[in-house]
Structure formats: structure tokens, C-alpha cells
Chains A and B, each alone.
Chain A
Amino acid sequence: MATLQLQRERVEALIDQVVSGMQRLEVLIEEDTPVSIISMDKWDWSQGVGLFSLYQYYKETGDRGILAYLTDWFDDRLREGLPPKNVNTMCPMLTLSYLYEETRRPEYLSVCEEWASYAVDDMPRTPEFGITHVTTESMNEGELRGDTLYMTVLFMGRMGVLLKKEHYVQESIRQFLIHLKYLTDTRTGLFFHGWSFIRRDNYARALWGRGNAWYTAGLVDYLGIVELPLGFEMFLVASLEQQVRKLGELQADSGMWRTVLDDPEAYEETSATAGFAYGILKAVRKGYISETFLGAGIAALQAVIRKIDANGMVQGVSYGTRMGHSRQFYNRIPQCPMPYGQSMTLLMLVESLHHLDE
């Protein structure tokens, strides 16, 4: 039986390092996006993931300093004015909805209500009413992507619960179903990066690491956010188990996963590995999947910890990745510390506090 062999003090020290690393991230490489996804004081998906992990850490520890950082961050962004609404800019809203519950500040709630209503009713849809993966740089017409579940649909379900609007919950369920329908690789139980209703194919059929990790991590949190009908809950839990089963086979000896999961030539990628570790450890703890998968989660956790450098920077994280038209595309994405690398590591470390040998 795999055990963690970690002390609480050690994990807490790592958490502090990774948090301060996240807050000190600098743009070291030439970015190809219109808005920086590295710098922490911008409003986009990459920062949103980091905020959510900080929120989870706050809930775990009750550290008021972290809560203050989060509310300050949102207050600054709200003062500057928010960016146009799309799948990716929706991401920080999940955290804001929880901050509303912490602070009961009406301005938080009204922003959340406005954005949730946009996601449910006005966001561009593909055929079959999937949410089109519109981003700041492109309309991506007719395109479904796995990240949408994490970036937008979690928030949608969450707002259905918060506002007691059942049709928000139903819409989040429908989005999960259509994404799983078009993105599941039935041969492996893993997930493709995207689907195009125009091309009617899955592009390069790439089983991209981080995209899969967002599914694992996001799904576990979705199950915790929304009380689902048992039939649908079982559908998700079973899909999760299929995915994790295959991941177990593909995990490298190092405990890492590769950026293209089934390509032995691809490099080992840290953010995906951290997301898988978080999702697997939490799914086991919550009883969604069998404890036989605990070992894979712990091996991944230990591998990620080895990627944290002395400055708290999580190394080996691939830069933001667009839809690739070939598998080689993914292999050529550069690696550097990124907010989501920090934050997925942070989610994982916070979760590991539940698994210490105490």
C-alpha cells in the first residue's frame, strides 16, 4: 500500500513557497496572446484557476491573509473594469461566487448573476447547443473544447445552486453531456482536446494532458458543488473511473504524465500531473473511485513535489496551448512556470493534507 510519507510541516512549507511563487511570476518568455496569461494582475482563465486554488487553501486553513489577497484582487479588477465575457474570462467567477458567500458583498453577487445569466442564455452555441469555445483572440466557431467544462460550466452549476435556479443546473448537466459525447475517446476512456462541428472531427485526435487533467479535477469539484440526479452522477463517476483506469496504465515510471498522454516521445508535463494527482486523491477520498487508484495519485504527488524549485516555481509546465492540428504541435509548446502550474500544484498540495500518515 502506497503511503505518503510526508509531514504536515513539509506540506505547509511547500504550499507557502508555491503561493509566493505564484504571486511573483514574471513574464520571462515572449507571449503570443493578446492578454498576458502569466502576469497575475490580469483577468483571464489562467489567473482564475490560481484564484480558485487559493480559495480552497483559505477554506482549508482559514488564513485571513489569503482571503484578503483574493478580495483585493477582485476589487482591483472590478475597479479597472472587466474584460469581454467569453469561456475563458468566465473562469475567475467561480471564486468570486464563493467570496460573495464569505463577504456577503452585493456587488460581488450582481457581477456573478450577470455573468452566469450570460453563460446560460447568451453565450454563442454550436449545433446541439454546446457552448462555443470563444476566447479573447478568436471566435472558434463550431468548436467544443474540454476546458469549457472547467472554465465555465462549473460556475454555471455553482450559480444554479447559489441562486436556487434549477435551469442553470440543468444547463450545466447538458453541457457536460454534450462535451462528453463529442470529446470522449471511446477506445481509451480519455478525452480529446476539441471537436469541430464544421470539420466534424477531433482535429489531431490529441489526448492532451492538461485538458484531461481539467476534466478530472473539475469533475470531482462539480460533484461536490451540485447535487446531481443519481443516474447522471453515475454517468460522470463511471466516466471518471474509465479515465483514471487508463491514466494508471499511461503513468510514467517517474510518476508523471506526458503532455500527449499516449505518446511515449512527448515530454512529461507538470500541470497535467498535478491536476491528475489532485483529482485522483480527492476522488478516492470522496469515495467516487476505488482506493486501488490511490497509489497512482500519490506517485504523481511526489513527482510534482520534485518539480518545485527553491524559489517555489513549479517547473516543467507547458505554456498556454491552442488547438493543435498535429501531435507534434503539443510537443513544441515551450515550458515555463505558469499560474495554472502553480495553482494546480497548490490544489494538489492542499488535498494532500487529507492524506497525511497521521
Chain B
Amino acid sequence: MKKSVVVIDDKPLILRSIVQTVDWNSLGCTVVGQAEDGIEGKRIIHDKQPDILITDIKMPGMSGLDLAEYMHLAFPQSKTILITGYQDFEYAKRAVKLGVYDIIVKPVRNDELQRIIGLAVHELDSARQELSQRAERDEAFNQLEERHQNSLPSLRSQFVSELIGGSVPHDDKLAETTASLGLAWNRCTVLIVRSKRPLAAVQGADSLSISPMLHGAMTEMAQLAAARREFEIIDSYRHDDLVLACLFPKPLTPRELKMKLQSFCHDFIELVRQRHGLTICIAVSPVYRQLQDLRQAYEGASALMDTSFFHTEGQVLFPEMVEPSGEGGKFSIIRDLEQFNRMLEQVSSDEMIGHLEQIIAHIRAYSEGNIRVAKGLISDVCLAAARYYYRATGDEFGFDRSINEVLEDIYRLRDMREASDYLAAFIKTVKTKLSGDDKEYSLVVKESVDYINGRFAENISLTAVAEHFGLSPSYLSRLLRAETGINFVDLVAKARIEAAKRLLRDPRLKVNEVGEMVGYKEYAYFYQVFKKTEGISPKEFKNRSKES
């Protein structure tokens, strides 16, 4: 790019000489303006913004020094060359102060002027080059900085995930990495976040894990809530769970930490509920000082989350909520179960349900946080109730649900409150079914029902059963109807269909084989009875059980 030059001299001859005789082209310059006095000169400088100013010092209106000063102030990068008739030290001193590039003494020699302009041009070029290089460097630096900032969250997540996964680098390396990731902490803790109830629309039917689709949005909400409380959240993902590491930059007391975490959890739960209609629960690990302990913190939170089966009340689980083992734990349980069995026979349904709180509390204490133990004991309570029903009625198939279905229900229970509700409903069913005026089946009916349930696969007839017990068929028939509410044929059908439903779930058995196994020689008859009681044909039942 050509440099622009303005030449100012009050002597037209000198002015013309400079403008016309210097080889501007070879210097890479163009004269963009000239003037014969200082005032006009200043205007031209203002208009043309030259790179180089060549001016006489002594001029009417404004001196060359004034112009040099103006030039330097307005365009600091520019170069001013002064022409003077005197070798005056004072001028020179002032000129240097003003940042003048050089001073030429009259008479002006073209070759010297040309040399000095050449030097000025060279200096202008290198200054400009340096400027543009610096701009490039700055630009590149900014880009790098930005990229680093963008990838920082995922780098932090990755780093924290590794720590939680148990791979801890050496101390030096750790310090280096945390510094480069801008992590500052004095205390740290780990939170595990899960859904409180499965939301079929959002995630897999039975899973309580937070759907990965919500992961990002929820982390943002948590970070927002954390920033207000002066700590940082770094998200991680482990065993399908949303795991949040909390880093507290200040050394807080346990009480302060707890308060911050409590109010944070409260806000976070509320935010998630409002934005996503999702009820979550959070397990909070004990607080540690070292990032190396994040693994341990995660394990603590994870163990705590498992105990949520026993903690049905709050949505936030803190470590101190877990009862220390031994304290409050019980060593015996059989006595409680036995007592419960006796009560089944002796007290009313409502009293039983009142007592349920107690047995649930005992089961909880005995299990000491072991879900399998708790569910095993709950199963025993249900089975006891079912056996009691059988003893009273002789009818194994009297419930709407078979024993395998009951055990599956218990396996799927999500917390102790559900367990308590389930037990209450189950006991109520048993008691209500038996309470038909609080009357147990008479011995004959009990035995007859048992006889039917044991032999339904054979060609069983009312006459045969009556004969077996030494009764007249019509008497037995009346007795059965009076006590069970249904007649002999329906009792047999009920036993057969209940058995058929279990057998139909077996993929090895064909529908007609099942029909024959439960006592229907005629396929069409089996079809009819089954469809009448279940509303769908046995084949459809089989197909559905295959799908589920």
C-alpha cells in the first residue's frame, strides 16, 4: 500500500521542488496534499490523514512545530519530517519532544530528503507489519481461549467421572489437571439423582434413573441453584444414574454445608418438578476434603440411595438419616411373625391393619437396610395370610391373584410405604373373603373344595364327590352354594381355569394340551369356559403372556 504524503512550505519554489523532484513512486509514496501556510496545512492534514508530513518550520499562521505536534497527537503512527533554515538546538530539542522523525537543514538536498523519507517509509512498514502480526496473535489466542472455555464443562465432567470411577492420578498430575480445568474446592460431596416414581412416558417402564435426554437440562438447573449458594456442580453419569459432584471453594462448617445443600436440594427438586413434572429424590454423600475421595463419596451416596426403600418420607437423603447398624436393629423376627399369624385367626381386619405398622417397623429394623431380607419377610406375611385362607376354605384358588403373581408384586415393591399398603390390601382381601358373616367354611365344604382342587383334571362329578364324603349329591350341592356362593360346576371351572392360566404361560405347552391337562377333553368347551371367565380366548391369553 502506498504511503500518503503532505508537503507544506510557505516558499512556493521549495514546495514545488520537493513535490516535483522527489521520486515518490520508487519510495512507494503519493503526495496527497500540499499547502503554503500552517493553517491551510492543518486543514489538509485533517482531511488527508497522511502517513508522512514534510513541513517547513517557520511559516505564517501556524509553525511547523505546531503542525508536528498536531500530527503526532492525531496520528501517533505517522512520521513528521521538519525542514529548517537554522541549525537551532532549541528547535531540535522541541522537535524530538514532539516525536518528529527527523530534521533536514536547508538547503534541502533531494538525495538526503529521499533517504530520510525512505527510512520513514521503512519504519512505517515494519510498524504496520508488527501491528498486524500482533492482531493475528491476539485473534488466535482468543480463539483458543474460547475453545477451551467451551470444552471446559465436558472436560470437567470427564475428569470427575474418572475420579468417581476410582481412577485417581498422582498428586502432581491431579494438581495440574485441576488447575487447568479451573477447579477450586475446599470441601466436596456427591449427589445421586433419581426419579421418585417411574414415568413411563419419559423412560423405561420400571427404571427410576433419570432419562439421559433430561440429563443436560437438569444439570443446568442444578448449576443455577448451586451458583446462588456459591458452590459448583459438575455432572457425571454412572450406572445410568445422574451423579452430581459439588465443589465448595470455601472451608465451611458441617452445619453450613448441610444448610446450603438442603436449600439447594429443595430448590433443585422444585425446579425439576415445575419444568419437567418429574418428582426426584436425591441422595447426598458425606462431605470430603479431597477430590481423591469422590469415589468413596459416590459409594456413600449410592448406598444411601439403596436405603430409600426404607425411607419413604423425604425426597432428600442425608447420611446421618441412616440409623447406625445395631442401634434399633432387632435380632429376632420369628416371634413377631408367629404372633402375626395368630392374630390373623383371632382379630378383625381393622385390628390387623392397625397392627401392620408394628410388624412393618419390626421388619424394617430387622432388615437393617437389606432390601432382600425385607421383601422376603413381607412375602412370608402374605404367604401366611394365603395359607390361613386355605386352611379356612380349602380353596387354593380363591384369590384373584395366584401365589406367583403375589410374589412378583412383592418383588416389584418400591418402598416400605408401598409394602405397607400392599400388605394392608392383601390382608383386607383375605379377611373380607372369609368374613362372609365371619363364618368359616364348614368342614364338609372345606374338604370338598380341597378335593375338587386336587382332582379337577380328572372327570370329576358332583355325584362322585358326594359319594366320597357319604352325602347325597343334592345336599352337597346346596351346601356348596350356600357357603361359597357358587355351584359345583363353577368351583371346578374356577380351579381348572386358574391352573390353565399358569400352564398357558409355559411356552412348551400348546393350548389344547393345557385344556386337556386341566380336565377339558373338548377343546371347544375349554375355549368357551375360558373365554367366559377371562374375556379372551386361551390362545389370546397365551399370546399376551408371551409378549409381556
A interface, CB within 8 angstroms of B: 230, 233-234, 237-238, 241, 286-292
Complex Cα distance, B542 from A234, in Å, reads 19
With A237-B524, A292-B512 as given contacts, are A287 and B537 in contact (CB-CB < 8 Å)? yes
Contact B531 A230 (CB under 8 A): yes
A237 CB contacts on chain B under 8 angstroms? 524, 527-528
Complex Cα distance, B527 from A234, in Å, reads 8
A287 CB contacts on chain B under 8 angstroms? 511, 527, 537-540, 542
Complex Cα distance, B529 from A237, in Å, reads 13
B97 CB contacts on chain A under 8 angstroms? none
Complex Cα distance, B510 from A291, in Å, reads 7
Say yes or no: is B532 at the interface (Cβ < 8 Å to chain A). Answer: yes
With A241-B523, A241-B524, A289-B523 as given contacts, are A230 and B532 in contact (CB-CB < 8 Å)? yes
Q: How many A-B residue pairs have CB under 8 A?
A: 34
Q: Mark B501-542, 1 if CB is under 8 A from A, else 0.
A: 000000000111001000000011001100110000111101
B512 CB contacts on chain A under 8 angstroms? 290-292
Complex Cα distance, B280 from A199, in Å, reads 81
16 contacts between A and B (CB under 8 A): A230-B531, A230-B532, A234-B527, A237-B524, A237-B527, A237-B528, A286-B537, A287-B538, A288-B527, A288-B537, A289-B523, A289-B524, A290-B512, A290-B523, A291-B512, A292-B512
B542 CB contacts on chain A under 8 angstroms? 287
B528 → chain A, closest Cβ, in Å? 5
Docked complex: B130-152 residues within 8 A CB-CB of A? none
CB-nearest residue of chain B to A286: B539
B540 CB contacts on chain A under 8 angstroms? 287
> What would 12 more interface pairs be, CB under 8 Å, given A230-B532, A286-B537, A287-B539?
A230-B531, A234-B524, A234-B527, A234-B528, A241-B523, A287-B527, A287-B537, A287-B540, A288-B537, A290-B512, A290-B523, A291-B511
Complex Cα distance, B538 from A288, in Å, reads 9
B540 → chain A, closest Cβ, in Å? 7
A235 → chain B, closest Cβ, in Å? 10
B537 CB contacts on chain A under 8 angstroms? 286-288
A234 CB contacts on chain B under 8 angstroms? 524, 527-528
Complex Cα distance, B537 from A290, in Å, reads 12
Complex Cα distance, B531 from A251, in Å, reads 31
CB-nearest residue of chain B to A231: B528
A238 CB contacts on chain B under 8 angstroms? 524
B532 CB contacts on chain A under 8 angstroms? 230
A133 → chain B, closest Cβ, in Å? 29
B524 CB contacts on chain A under 8 angstroms? 234, 237-238, 241, 289
CB-nearest residue of chain A to B516: A290
Complex Cα distance, B540 from A233, in Å, reads 15
A230 CB contacts on chain B under 8 angstroms? 528, 531-532
B531 CB contacts on chain A under 8 angstroms? 230, 233
A288 CB contacts on chain B under 8 angstroms? 527, 537
B490 → chain A, closest Cβ, in Å? 16
Complex Cα distance, B511 from A292, in Å, reads 10
7 residue pairs, one from A and one from B, having the closest CB atoms: A287-B539, A290-B512, A290-B523, A238-B524, A234-B528, A291-B510, A287-B537
A206 → chain B, closest Cβ, in Å? 27
Complex Cα distance, B523 from A289, in Å, reads 7
Complex Cα distance, B531 from A286, in Å, reads 13
B527 CB contacts on chain A under 8 angstroms? 234, 237, 287-288
Complex Cα distance, B539 from A223, in Å, reads 14
A298 → chain B, closest Cβ, in Å? 15
Complex Cα distance, B515 from A290, in Å, reads 9
A292 CB contacts on chain B under 8 angstroms? 512
Complex Cα distance, B521 from A241, in Å, reads 13
CB-nearest residue of chain A to B527: A237
Docked complex: B180-230 residues within 8 A CB-CB of A? none
A358 → chain B, closest Cβ, in Å? 15
CB-nearest residue of chain A to B530: A287
B538 → chain A, closest Cβ, in Å? 6
B539 CB contacts on chain A under 8 angstroms? 286-287
